Amino acid sequence: MCSNTTLPGRALTGAAIWGTEIHSLRPLVAGTSEFADRLKLLRARATACVDDAVIARASEILHAVRTGGDQALLSAVETYDGVTKRSVLELLFEVENEAAASDGVPELNTQLSAEFRAAVHSSITAVRRFHEPQQRWIESGHYAIEADGLKIEERVFPLRRVGLYVPGGRFVYPSTVIMTVVPAQLAGVSDIVVACPPAALASSAELRYVLQVLGISEVWGMGGAHAIAALAYGTDTVRPVDFIAGPGNAWVTAAKQLVRGTVGTDHDAGPSEVVIVASGDAPATWVAADLIAQAEHDPRAVAVLVTPSMDLAESVLAALTQQLGDLATAETAVEALAGFGAVLVTEDLEQAFEVGESLAAEHQQLMGAAAEDLAPRCRAAGALFVGSATPTCFGDYAAGPSHVLPTGGTARYSSGLSVLDFVRRTHSVRANSEASASLGRTAAALAEVEGLVGHRRSAVLRAEALAVDAGESS
């Protein structure tokens, strides 16, 4: 029961949660300083702030694995994952073997409910269906420009070796495996590696089932900064990857920031966020459930309702109190709602829309009759869920787009994980002798202005050559 949970320095009772103790969760009305202050706080929310101490410690772990190789990795796994192994090869999790069973029925199938297995297959089907059209981006990425003896070919290639991090602390996340592996596979990455804390792999048949269904054969039981180090730098046994994607805790986030440049990484994943813009007719029970679903992720999660209706605001607050009363994750949700929760009452629907756009949240929901009118104008969020029948949790598990989305307002300039994150472009340039002479003159004129005399000479040599053949044999 929520009334029995205790936050640091603060005793909660059902009555005290909303109104007295957590000031932010009174309705805040547009035009008041409280409204303005809360909005300012929300706009300035961090993206993925990591404690300096965590960065310093992660840096030490990275250095140890980089210089110490296999032995340092084994030592870190023992310290942080609580697992003792004699060789790094023993960290490889034998997912494939789970499928082998004497009666021909994969063993995992008999351990898991038909309902769960059907949900996994529905999710994979939806994620594939949504991402397949992005393969067209790859196709249209190939092109050639030919003009005046100059030929430039642009080509797009899948990355060669990619590491996907799947977190596993309090919770296990089979869904994250689907949401990162499927886009990489559709991009054509041939070499996909997963790293995950060994306790999660050992305890969760569901996690192993998803890895097995997706055909991931290289799964490392290691979790945290040392796992990122092993993937980025390689060890005697672990071959390094070119790119690391997937969410993680503060250690993983810090480590990913520190190895960026040695390998590529996806965007930093900050605390999860939802902003719900609702007209007064939206169902209060559902609004409350959707705010809680976001808030339970993380004590620093963001969950905001913006509505012109004071009636809806008050109904939602009442529903929140009621729903938190019997929720196992209430402690985290309450802390999140106190920190970055808000119920904002605007002058009208237009102002509610503007607040939503200005926050550029990871997830934005539009609820109530106004949803369809507003939808075409909403473009700031990482993902938009239109109508009360479409909550954010559909995006987390089942709709199709990857649930790895930009947080902390970074949706202003970045996008959710997709097939495109797993490809790179490169081009080739070829000039015939006429083009070479012409480009040589252009390059020489610009190099001269820039003071780069060596560039100028390299260009002039071509401008002065009468033909390529003369150059080739000179």
**Interacting span for its own copies (CB under 8 A) from 20-28, 81-89, 340-348, 391-399:** 391-399
Residues 49-108 that bind its own copies (CB under 8 A): none
Buried b / exposed e over 129-144, threshold 16 CB at 10 Å, is ebbeebeeebeeeeee
Measuring CA to CA, which residue among 189, 187, 207, 194 is closest to residue 165? 194
**Interacting span for its own copies (CB under 8 A) from 2-10, 60-68, 83-91, 280-288:** 280-288
* CB nearer its own copies, residue 104 or residue 261: 261
Residues 211-240 that bind its own copies (CB under 8 A): none
Q: Please name the residues in contact with 244: beta carbons below 8 A apart, sequence gap of 6 or more.
A: 162, 163, 164, 165, 228, 231, 232, 256, 259, 263, 264, 265, 266
Please report how close the Cβ of residue 6 comes to its own copies at its closest, in angstroms: 19
User: Which residue reads 């059209």 in tokens?
Assistant: 133
Distance (Å, whole) CA 153 – CA 436: 17
Measuring CA to CA, which residue among 160, 236, 161 is closest to residue 195? 161
* CB nearer its own copies, residue 74 or residue 443: 443
SS3 state of residue 241 = coil
Residues 358-377 that bind its own copies (CB under 8 A): 368-369, 375
Measuring CA to CA, which residue among 442, 379, 468, 444 is closest to residue 415? 379
User: Binding of its own copies at residue 33 (CB under 8 A)?
Assistant: no
The site map against its own copies for 9-28 (x = CB under 8 A) is --------------------
Distance (Å, whole) CA 269 – CA 410: 10
**End-to-end CA, the chain:** 86
* CB nearer its own copies, residue 77 or residue 270: 270
Of 43, 239, 377, 379, the one binding its own copies by CB under 8 A:
379
Q: Please name the residues in contact with 276: beta carbons below 8 A apart, sequence gap of 6 or more.
A: 282, 287, 290, 291, 304, 305, 306, 364, 365, 366, 367
Of 175, 180, 185, 235, the one binding its own copies by CB under 8 A:
175
One of 273, 296, 331, 362 is an active-site residue; which one?
362
Bridge partner list, 394: none
Distance (Å, whole) CA 168 – CA 24: 31
One of 131, 297, 363, 403 is an active-site residue; which one?
363
Q: How many CB atoms lie within 10 A of CB 356?
A: 26
Distance (Å, whole) CA 221 – CA 311: 51
Of 108, 254, 305, 333, the one binding its own copies by CB under 8 A:
333
Of 30, 99, 202, 398, the one binding its own copies by CB under 8 A:
398
User: Binding of its own copies at residue 124 (CB under 8 A)?
Assistant: no
* In contact, 82 and 199? CB cutoff 8 Å: yes
User: Binding of its own copies at residue 296 (CB under 8 A)?
Assistant: yes
User: Binding of its own copies at residue 140 (CB under 8 A)?
Assistant: yes
Residues 422-441 that bind its own copies (CB under 8 A): 424-433, 435-436, 438-441
Dihedrals phi, psi of 28, to nearest 5 degrees: -105, 125
**Interacting span for its own copies (CB under 8 A) from 60-68, 91-99, 147-155, 211-219:** 147-155
Whether 362 is a known active-site residue: answer yes
**Interacting span for its own copies (CB under 8 A) from 16-24, 28-36, 101-109, 133-141:** 133-141
* CB nearer its own copies, residue 10 or residue 136: 136
User: Binding of its own copies at residue 471 (CB under 8 A)?
Assistant: yes
User: Binding of its own copies at residue 263 (CB under 8 A)?
Assistant: yes
Please report how close the Cβ of residue 254 comes to its own copies at its closest, in angstroms: 13
- What is the set of active-site residues? 362-363
